[in-house]
Amino acid sequence: MSGKVKAKIGPSILNADLSQLSDESQRLLDCGADYLHLDVMDGHFVPNLSFGHPLVKCLRAKIKDAFFETHMMVSKPQQWITPMADAGVNQYTFHIEPVDDVPTVCRKVKEAGMKVGIALKPGTPVEVVTEYIDKVDMVLVMTVEPGFGGQKFMESMMNKVSWLRENYPAMDIEVDGGVGPSTIHCCAKAGANMIVSGTAVINSSNPANVIKEMKDSVNEALGFWYLK
């Protein structure tokens, strides 16, 4: 890893109208979204179900060029690596909590041609990433418990983000859960550069403005980080 990271805003399409998913996704990209964050839930690791690789493949057929990140809230992430790669996913982000052999999953994701992201639930200590950091492209710090929308943003998770930015200045660090205009400043100040936002973008009357506001906030804060 070298150089500086960039601010990227990735709307969570789980909050969009799933019956109009390709149109909704394209609208968000046209409004300035940098990537699409696809929440995959198995009803086991988290209580809810969302969608799987067939839907992602259909979405890729309509949207050729956008960067797709799948957030795998599943108990057996190794099970979906090949299908998601085949569906056109660019980055495969999985939770380390249910996985016995994280390095092997990372290697298989890379071999399938995708970038690797590892995700941490709020109760997982951030220091666990040290043994995997050379195998991943991004770390996702959950700012709510995974699997439910509309939860209150956990500001205490910003300690994890700032620890990661201090120790791995060139790492992509993502935050997900309750992030929007009212919470973006503390995420940016802590050093997050990849911002997942659901309802704050999707339900806005002007998504382009919300995306621009959040990106500007992150870029400004990153400037301070790299001046340190």
* Residue 196 and residue 174 in contact, taking contact as beta carbons nearer than 8 Å: yes
Q: Which of 42, 137, 172, 176 is catalytic?
A: 176
pLDDT of residue 157: 98
pLDDT band at 226 (very low <50, low <70, confident <90, very high): confident
Which of 29, 140, 41, 55 has its CA nearest to residue 91?
Answer: 140
Name 136's Cβ contacts closer than 8 Å, sequence gap at least 6: 106, 116, 117, 118, 129
Q: Hey, what domains does the chain have and what are their CATH numbers?
A: 8-227 (3.20.20.70)
pLDDT digits (tens, 9 = 90+) for 10-24: 999 988 888 999 999
Q: Is the pLDDT confidence value at 40 over 50?
A: yes
Please name the helix (run of DSSP H) or strand (run of DSSP E) that holds residue 38, with its range, or none: strand 36-41
pLDDT of residue 2: 43
How would you classify the pairing of strands 36-41 and 8-11? unpaired
Q: Is the pLDDT confidence value at 228 over 90?
A: no
HEC letters along 115-166: EEEEEECCCCCHHHHHHCHHHCCEEEEECCCCCCCCCCCCHHHHHHHHHHHH
Percent of the chain residues past pLDDT 70, beyond the cut: 97
End-to-end CA distance of the chain: 19
pLDDT digits (tens, 9 = 90+) for 116-171: 999 999 999 999 999 999 999 999 999 999 987 667 899 999 999 999 999 999 99
φ and ψ of 168, to 5 deg: -135, 75
Q: Is 100 a catalytic residue?
A: no
Mean of pLDDT values over 88-110: 98
Name 53's Cβ contacts closer than 8 Å, sequence gap at least 6: 80, 83, 84, 86, 87
SS3 39: strand
pLDDT of residue 149: 67
Mean per-residue pLDDT over the chain, rounded: 95
pLDDT digits (tens, 9 = 90+) for 59-98: 999 999 999 999 999 999 999 999 999 999 999 999 999 9
Q: Is the pLDDT confidence value at 107 over 90?
A: yes
pLDDT digits (tens, 9 = 90+) for 178-206: 999 999 999 999 999 999 999 999 999 99
pLDDT band at 3 (very low <50, low <70, confident <90, very high): low
Q: Is 65 a catalytic residue?
A: no
Q: Which of 39, 42, 137, 172 is catalytic?
A: 39
Q: Is the pLDDT confidence value at 1 over 50?
A: no
Which of 142, 136, 140 has its CA nearest to residue 115?
Answer: 136
